[in-house]
Amino acid sequence: MPRIRKKTSKRVNTHQREKIKHKVSQHHKKSKKQARKDKAAGKITQKKSKKDPGIPNNFPYKDQILAEVAEQRREAAAEKQRRKDEKRAAAAGIDVKDLETTQNADYIDVDANDGQGFDGIMSLRQAPASSVLSSKNSTEKQRMPAVPVSPGPSTLRDALQKADVLLHIVDARDPEAGISEGLMKEATGKAILLLVNKADTVPRESLAQWLVHLRSTYDVLPFRVSTAFMPSPTPFEPPTKKAKTGYADDAWGRAAVWTRLENFAKTKESDELVVAVTGVTNCGKSAVINSLLGVEAMSIYNVHSSTAKRPYTTMTAQEVVASIPGDEGRKVRFVDTPGLQYVRQEVSNEADMEEMRARDIMLKCRGRIDRLKDPLFAVSHVVSRADTQDLMLAYNLPAFAEGDPNGFLAGMARVSGLIKKRGVLDHAGAARIMLRDWSTGKFVRYTVPRGATTSSSPDAADEEILLRLRNRKEMRKAGDVKLVKLQAGAADKRDVEMEEPWEEDGNRAEEDEDDGDEDQEEEDENEKDGDEAASSEGEGATGSVGEESGGEDEEGEDSEEAPELLPPASKRKRTVSFAAPAVNGKRRRGVSGLGQDGRKGRR
């Protein structure tokens, strides 16, 4: 009878068991590291929500509860539809009663089975008239006649010589920093209209003081672009299908701008008024023109996208012609120009050069500034201008010295959990968090004019816009933003590049700084290479004497030729040194080695 094989044991050997433990520990370590990165980047991981079990079948009043829930859903849907009808009727200039009479009662009957989860028959009903009205606003942009856009002048000087009015756009968060004294000197003799854009991003007190301060020198109007041309509230997230599209005709201050342009046109003999729209990069020049026209004529770019193939801003001048509302005989030609470029200055002091570079980057906020290779200098510029108490309240930080960027970044790193090995704080990671908030708009900053008093009262024409804004107290109570007061920037005194022609490629040097191609991957690779090189140096110090002498012999040849770039040295393999052969062919007991004939010796 053949021998029966013994049953194999299920016992796992030690090597396999330890390998599984090692893999599990590495997986947990990797998951924790990714969670720390997501937390530092501001990503919110959605936890699995428990499914509602519903009402048990043996509950005695289940039918009554379901009927009440269905009734509440019908009432909520009717109330929501009523608010939509009122809003759309008001926008279209139609009375709500007239809108209700146009709806047929046959397709608005409420069925007894409504709210029970079955909508097969409901899908066969005729669409109500309100859906036709709702699609009117959504397709208004597509049905509007296309506005022809033609190429504009090739240089800024040509645009100014052609223009009758200079419409200069500044950011309401720091208006004076967006004013160029060199451009204003070049526009001497022309009508200048200063438009304070993005008025909805600052407190009411700040905008009122800036309007009073700037009107002592310029003709100033507040403005906010239409919601259809405003940037996305989550610029770094992919667009969703449920994203709401705004309206193209709900801009603040639109009527006041057209009234001012109409007054300029009446003083001119010809029927066409040429308006040159200027300003720094990302101040909203193209969005202002689209808001005045009520249609997207100029392309609006996503300034935060780092993967788009298209440019980040307007690269060449473009022209568009529109009629003045209420006066079809008079035309206005808008010339959309690229952002202002300044003549390079020779600055001997490196600190002044770095300060100027940080000022331009934070003012223009172009591209993924949170991916700067060295973000510390930009954060130092912000901390030197920001109110210390506002920074501590915004990020819930411990107290630090006024204007101390290291103390601010240390507190940010501790609060955000950005701590490296051996307790080293990640200042660069903390700086990127602040730059990300600055770029996305969560870091809400505002300024007040130097020497401004609260007793100054704004113009009565600005009350319509000022009443829509929140004050500082209301913005802090909201909790959805980080409100920080900054010192007001001064007007730029550098000379503007007037003769440099605008090209499609543009100046790529600035994009390389502000863009985002220099992310943290390079730093991680450099740190890894540095660790490997350090380990190889420590192990290479125990090399043999023969290798050192060989390196000295080849030193002359290597000095004549250019050294090659070699990869980091790997770890040295451990070698076994054998004992030297004993004299007279005898060996000591207990020592093994190779004999003189190359064969292994005996013990």
Percent of the chain with pLDDT over 70: 67
Other Cβ atoms closer than 10 A to 410: 17
Going by pLDDT thresholds of 50, 70 and 90, the confidence category of residue 230 is confident
pLDDT for residue 600: 47
Gyration radius of the chain's alpha carbons? 35
pLDDT for residue 587: 47
Cβ burial 363-400 (10 Å sphere, 16+ → b, else e) = bbbbbbbbbbeebbbbbbbbbebbbbebbeebbebeeb
Going by pLDDT thresholds of 50, 70 and 90, the confidence category of residue 30 is very high
Q: For the residues 13-36, what does the mean pLDDT come to?
A: 95
pLDDT for residue 239: 53
Region of poorest pLDDT, from 47-51, 190-194, 447-451, 474-478: 47-51
**pLDDT at residue 167 above 90?**
yes
**pLDDT at residue 347 above 80?**
no
DSSP 190-234: SEEEEEEE-GGGS-HHHHHHHHHHHTTTSEEEE-B--GGGSPPSS
pLDDT for residue 96: 57
Q: For the residues 407-412, what does the mean pLDDT come to?
A: 94
**pLDDT at residue 554 above 90?**
no
**pLDDT at residue 439 above 80?**
yes
Rounded CA separation 571/536 (Å): 6
Cα–Cα distances in angstroms (integers) from residue 167 to residues 133, 190, 440, in the given order: 36, 10, 27
pLDDT for residue 152: 86
Region of poorest pLDDT, from 242-256, 387-401, 446-460, 559-573: 559-573
**pLDDT at residue 378 above 70?**
yes
**pLDDT at residue 420 above 60?**
yes
Taken in order of first residue, the domains within the chain and their CATH numbers are 149-237+245-336 (3.40.50.300), 350-523 (no CATH), 574-603 (no CATH)
Q: For the residues 517-528, what does the mean pLDDT come to?
A: 46
Q: How high does pLDDT run on average in the chain?
A: 75
CB 491 within 8 A of CB 177: yes
pLDDT winner (highest mean) among 38-47, 303-312, 412-421, 574-583 = 412-421
pLDDT for residue 337: 92
pLDDT for residue 244: 56
**pLDDT at residue 479 above 60?**
yes
pLDDT tens digits, 97-156: 655 555 544 443 444 444 444 333 333 334 343 333 333 444 444 445 567 888 888 899
Going by pLDDT thresholds of 50, 70 and 90, the confidence category of residue 440 is confident
